[in-house]
């Protein structure tokens, strides 16, 4: 059985008014960013585990981070 998926994706084809190569380009730009986001999520999870093992209350750490990300006027 021959896999025609790669061949079908290589040729620019109009599908419902959207060029397949444009869609592929968009997807290829999103994929590495999604992987990076996943990687950052894993790193953040590890840091929270480190904070917990050091005796810090992780819920409080999360709350502090949330407050620090807000605008100063919103915090007041």
pLDDT for residue 4 is more than 70: no
Strands (E) located in 1-76: 14-15, 18-19
Per the structure, the count of domains in the chain is 1
Sort strands 14-15 and 18-19 into parallel, antiparallel or unpaired: antiparallel
- Interatomic CA distance for residues 66 and 37, integer angstroms: 18
pLDDT for residue 59 is more than 50: yes
Domain range for 70: 5-75
0.75 cut: is pTM over it? Answer: no
- Residue 17 confidence (pLDDT): 63
Q: Which residues pair with 14 in a beta bridge?
A: 19
Q: Which residues pair with 19 in a beta bridge?
A: 14
- Interatomic CA distance for residues 58 and 63, integer angstroms: 9
Query: In the 8-state DSSP scheme, what is residue 12?
Result: -
């Amino acid at each position: 059985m021959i896999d025609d998926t790669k061949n079908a994706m290589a040729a620019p084809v109009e599908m419902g008014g959207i060029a397949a190569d444009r869609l592929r380009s968009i997807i290829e730009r999103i994929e590495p960013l999604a992987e990076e986001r996943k990687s950052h999520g894993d790193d953040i999870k590890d840091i929270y585990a480190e904070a917990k093992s050091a005796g810090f209350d992780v819920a409080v750490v999360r709350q502090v981070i949330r407050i620090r990300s807000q605008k100063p006027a919103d915090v007041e």
